[in-house]
Each structure stands twice: as C-alpha cells, then as structure tokens.
Amino acid sequence: KQIPRNQSKTSSSPPALKKAVSQSKPTISGGLHTARSNLTAKAPTVGYQQSHANIPENPGMHHVFRIDVTLSPRDLNAPGQFGRPVVVPPEKKKEAEQRWKEGNFNVYLSDLIPVDRAIEDTRPAGCAEQLVHNDLPTTSIIMCFVDEVWSALLRSVHSVLNRSPPHLIKEILLVDDFSTKEYLKADLDKYMSQFPKVRILRLKERHGLIRARLAGAQNATGDVLTFLDSHVECNVGWLEPLLERVYLNRKKVACPVIEVINDKDMSYMTVDNFQRGVFTWPMNFGWKTIPPDVVAKNGIKETDIIRCPVMAGGLFSIDKSYFYELGTYDPGLDVWGGENMELSFKVWMCGGEIEIIPCSRVGHIFRNDNPYSFPKDRMKTVERNLVRVAEVWLDDYRELFYGHGDHLIDQGLDVGNLTQQRELRKKLKCKSFKWYLDNVFPDLKAPVVRASGVLINMALGKCVSIENITVTLEDCDGSSQLQQFNYTWVRLIKHGEWCVAPIPEKGSLTLYHCDNRNNRLKWLHKSASAFHPELVDHIVFENYQQLLCMEGNFSQKTLKLAACNPMELQQKWKFEKYYEV
C-alpha cells in the first residue's frame, strides 16, 4: 500500500560514483599509472613510511602514515591488481553465473584476484600532508559475518593488516554469526592463526548483525571500536584520520568515505566528494550530494570533514566507553536494518556528532540483496526495527514515518518492549527530534501534518465546521477556530483531540476521540490516487464493505457518507494548505 518500502535498497545502495569512473566499464587510467610510478619511484618492499621526510612543526604529531604492504605486489599482472576491473573469460561465464548467489556478487572473480591486491590511493590531495597525534587511542576492529565468501573475508582482513599502523590495532575480532559454511570453521581458524592479532568469536546461535556487533564490543579490549563489514578493502591511511577525530572529541563518531567495489567486475571505484548520509521518509537511508554552489559559496574543500545526519551503518569508529554510555544499540533490534538510524539519532540527540572523514576511504561491495537468509520475514524484520526506532526517537514526527510506510503496526506487528529505550533517552537527557531537525538536518522536509486549515467542499464552496459534537457545513471563515482541521500522516482528520469519524451504517459523520491506532478514524485523501486515481480529491473511508466518500449535502448545512462517485463534485474536498515532502 502507498509508497512501497524498498528495504533492500536502504543501506545497500552505493553513493554516487565519480563521473570519470561511473561508466559501466570503469577504467582507472590515470590512477593506474600513478600507482605504478609510485611503485618504482619510492615504494619500499614492506611499505611503512611517512608521507614526507620533513618532520612536522607540531610536536606530538606526525603526518598520516602511508602504510601499504601491498605497494609492491607479488604479481603486477594478477587480475584485479591495483583495483582494475576484471573480465570473466567466456568459457567461465557459466561458472561465474552459478557462483554469483554465494555472495550476490561476482564470487568467481573475487576468488581469482589476490586477497592482498593493491588498490589505488583515492584520497583527495592534501590528505597525506595532514597531521595526526602520536598518541592516538588503539582500536579493536569488529567484523561480523554470516556465511561470508572466503576470499572477500580474507581480503577484508588483509586490507586492515596491510594498511593500518600495527600499534593502533589492538585486535581484529571476527564475529561469526552462526555461519553454516564448512570453510568458515576449521579452515578459517587455521588460516587466521597466522595472524596473532586476529581473534575469531563464534556465536552459538544466529544473533543478527546488531547483537553480533554487541558481542564483539563486549570482547574488545581497544579504546575505540571500529566496525567494518566483512567484504571491504581499507585504503591507504584509512585508520589514523578516524581515530584522530575520536581522540579530539570522544563524542565524535567517525565514518570513512565508503567507496565502491564493483559487484560485477570487482574494480575499486572512487565516489563523488561532498556526499552526506541522509534519509527520506519512511526512514530510507540514502546519499545526498552537497550542491556545487553551496560548496563554492562556503569554500568547502575536498578534505573537509562532512557532518552527517545519519550514517550508512557498516563502517565507523566510536569511543568504546562512549558507545556504552549511549547504551550501545537497542538490543531489541533484529538481524539487519535500522540500527544505523537508531545510533545516528541517539548520537546527535544525546550530544555527539557523526562525521564523514574524506581522508579515510574504505571500499565496500554493494549488493542488490542479502546473500544470507533471515530467520523471520525480511520486510517485517526491518519494519519492526524501524518502528522501534520511530517510537523511541521521532516524537510526533513518527507519524511521517507511519504515513509513508506500510502500517504493519496496524496489523498487529509486535515490536516488543520499549520501556528501557525510552528511559535511556530520558536518563541521557537527549534533545528532541525537533531539535535534530532544526540543527542537524534542516533540509529534511518534515511537516508534522499533511494538510491543514479549513476544509472546503469544491462544489458548494462551504467549509466543514464543528458544532457541539456534530459536523456541519457553514460559510467559510478562515478565522474561526471551529473550522480548523489537520489531516495527519496517519490519516486522521483532527480538530484538536477530536477526529472526524464515519458512521457507515447510518451514512453520517460524527466526532470521536482521536486515536492513531483506530482504523475506523482513517480517511484516504490525495494518497487515494495510488489505488483509486479517480478519487484523488475525495475523502474516502475504505474500511467498510464498500468505499464510502464524504459528501456535502444539498441542504448545504450537513455532510453525509455516500457511495464514492468519481464524477460527483460534492464529494471533492480541498484543505486550505497541503504540505509536501
């Protein structure tokens, strides 16, 4: 019903790609040469070097380390080396197609390319010159996975090991969320035993990514938690700029720029700068480019930190004690989805900040569908998570969420107990959602009601009015309180706490105490277009044997309910003002 929710696209949709590489067959011409000349010119055999020989003037600081063990790769011509696109040979097409579903990306190619391939350093100019503190906090990398593709998981781990200053990585915690694949058991243990920093935590039952992350956090010993998905490639210098932000202010949550590892050809593609993480109703995550004129007018540089209304979810660093101070994630969130909204609202409204750090870049394989199964229905799981978030954090604006979604809550969806979460919000003295809108996300269109003012009958030019507890039609008078109505996102026609209610059996109207859950008070108007485009201007009651429409009566003083007739002008209504989102 209404605007279909498409949760598979929620957080998995990639940010806009750089024009230069966004063609279907990406090329990394310039970058490739840079990478190669780097190799011959100054790459050490085991890469661990400062960007510049000069000692920075600020004592206690250093230039971001340019650590990249992959700078001189074993095989320069290996497929996918330097992040190049790979083509499946014709005789392997079938095999590649068959293996796609193992991870919902080109698993065949992933297995073909080196697990420690080099990728292009995609940081904007100036990043290498940036200073960070010598005494940055250590971090635990937490990577949850369920049935992850072997080569993708290994590549993720190698990219961390190979491109992070070793002294900053306290450990890499691989949290196995009850995978079923045999290779993720003894084989993985054996492989990872080569790397003392890698620890594998096995969950005894499927926790879902949210509770799996919490299990990881509980076992982490570093000062900062850095969460990553299990199919990523961390780029050169990715870690220090994140930790620097947390070091400067423990309430900053630092996210890298998420770049794109192409699911079809496995190429590493850079993305457009100046993108913020945002959402649209009903809480669908997305990316929004800062308009070029805003960039120009404010002199925003490519290396400038971008404050984000919401994070994508998968990749970020957060001070461990702050994460616990915030009450971590709502542990009532299931499996996948919505946790990025929850943490974002919580961080902003309770005194923290969410930032994207352009000098930190991590590639991620964006997939069109989850490659693992959901214990319960996928849509319902995500919907339920989002309802929990809406109920705890959105105040009255939750109606915008409900009004744009599927109303599963009306169909008896059990979202569990919310008392603890609401108490947490009180205890932390978090600000209102209105504050968040005004200060963090002012460009979000969020009118609390859908329409308001007088309600005019289009045939008669008369307005709905309240007389005691009856609903009448009078001459319009915009200044009269009795003629003021709000049409809400959950489809109530409200006059204060009173709602216009149908009496279908009698074909008449009355007033009733408003109640967002009461379907007998809900009217379709304008949004009726989705089902009955011919009734778009009507006010339709659909929860009866037949569609009923509000109609101005001939006597011009009363209203009635009648069978809907698209041609009937006396069934067409207009509110004084409509608010679009």
Supply 180's token pair: 């079923």
Residue number with CB closer to Mn ion (247 or 366): 366
Angle at 53 between CA 30 and CA 57, to 5 degrees: 115
**Interface with ligand UD2 includes 208 (CB under 6 A)?**
yes
CA–CA distance, 79 with 86 (Å, rounded to integer): 6
Q: How far is the CB of 15 from ligand UD2 (least distance, A)?
A: 10
Residue number with CB closer to ligand UD2 (83 or 208): 208
Which range, of 152-160, 224-232, 389-397, 514-522, touches Mn ion by CB under 5 A?
224-232
Contacts for 377-383: CB closer than 8 Å, 24+ residues apart: 378/7, 378/336, 379/5, 379/7, 380/408, 380/413, 381/334, 381/335, 381/336, 381/337, 382/5, 382/7, 382/10, 382/336, 382/337, 382/338, 383/5, 383/7, 383/408, 383/413
Residue number with CB closer to ligand UD2 (113 or 209): 209
**Interface with ligand UD2 includes 340 (CB under 6 A)?**
yes
Partner from ligand UD2, Mn ion, none contacting 209, C-beta within 5 to 8 A by type = ligand UD2
Question: C-alpha dihedral over 416, 422, 423, 426, to 10 degrees?
Answer: 180
CA–CA distance, 427 with 479 (Å, rounded to integer): 42
Partner from ligand UD2, Mn ion, none contacting 235, C-beta within 5 to 8 A by type = none
Supply 480's token pair: 């009269």
Q: Binder to ligand UD2 among 82, 105, 108, 336 (CB under 6 A)? A: 336
Residues 243-272 binding ligand UD2 (CB under 6 A) are 258
Write out 233-248 in H/E/C secondary structure: EECCCCHHHHHHHHHH
CA–CA distance, 85 with 434 (Å, rounded to integer): 46
Q: Binder to ligand UD2 among 337, 363, 403, 552 (CB under 6 A)? A: 337
- DSSP secondary structure code for residue 520 in this structure: G
Please name the residue that has the structure tokens 């959602």: 433
Q: How far is the CB of 285 from ligand UD2 (least distance, A)?
A: 7
Contacts for 200-203: CB closer than 8 Å, 24+ residues apart: 200/173, 200/174, 200/176, 201/173, 201/174, 201/175, 201/176, 202/176, 202/178, 203/175, 203/176, 203/177, 203/178
Q: How far is the CB of 144 from ligand UD2 (least distance, A)?
A: 4
Which range, of 138-146, 176-184, 223-231, 253-261, touches Mn ion by CB under 5 A?
223-231
**Interface with ligand UD2 includes 146 (CB under 6 A)?**
yes
Handedness of CA 513, 516, 518, 521 (dihedral sign): positive
Q: Binder to ligand UD2 among 121, 229, 233, 330 (CB under 6 A)? A: 229
Q: How far is the CB of 163 from ligand UD2 (least distance, A)?
A: 18
**Which amino acid does the sequence have at 106?**
N
Q: Binder to ligand UD2 among 171, 177, 263, 399 (CB under 6 A)? A: 177
Q: How far is the CB of 12 from ligand UD2 (least distance, A)?
A: 4
CA–CA distance, 433 with 348 (Å, rounded to integer): 10
Which range, of 195-203, 225-233, 298-306, 405-413, touches Mn ion by CB under 5 A?
225-233
CA–CA distance, 60 with 167 (Å, rounded to integer): 16
CB 263 within 8 A of CB 325: no
Q: Please, which residues have CB within 8 angstroms of residue 143's CB and are 6 or more apart in sequence?
A: 153, 156, 157, 172, 173, 174, 175, 216, 227, 228, 229, 230
**Interface with ligand UD2 includes 275 (CB under 6 A)?**
no
Contact track, Mn ion, 542-581, x by CB under 5 A: ----------------------------------------
> Looking at the chain, how many residues does it have?
581
Q: Please, which residues have CB within 8 angstroms of residue 98's CB and are 6 or more apart in sequence?
A: none
Q: How far is the CB of 323 from Mn ion (least distance, A)?
A: 20
**Interface with Mn ion includes 383 (CB under 5 A)?**
no
Q: How far is the CB of 334 from ligand UD2 (least distance, A)?
A: 9
Residue number with CB closer to ligand UD2 (368 or 529): 368
Q: Binder to Mn ion among 102, 120, 229, 265 (CB under 5 A)? A: 229
Beta bridge partners of 271: 17
* Helix (H) / strand (E) containing 39: helix 29-42
- DSSP secondary structure code for residue 119 in this structure: B
Q: How far is the CB of 67 from ligand UD2 (least distance, A)?
A: 23
Contact track, ligand UD2, 292-321, x by CB under 6 A: --------------------xxxx------
Residue 2, burial from CB neighbour count under 10 angstroms (0-12, 13-18, 19+): middle
Q: How far is the CB of 336 from ligand UD2 (least distance, A)?
A: 5
Which range, of 221-229, 294-302, 337-345, 393-401, touches Mn ion by CB under 5 A?
221-229
Q: How far is the CB of 401 from Mn ion (least distance, A)?
A: 24
Which range, of 204-212, 298-306, 489-497, 569-577, touches ligand UD2 by CB under 6 A?
204-212
Q: Which residues bind Mn ion (CB under 5 A)?
A: 229
Q: Which residues bind ligand UD2 (CB under 6 A)?
A: 11-12, 144-146, 148, 177, 208-209, 212, 229-230, 258, 312-315, 335-337, 339-340, 364, 370, 372
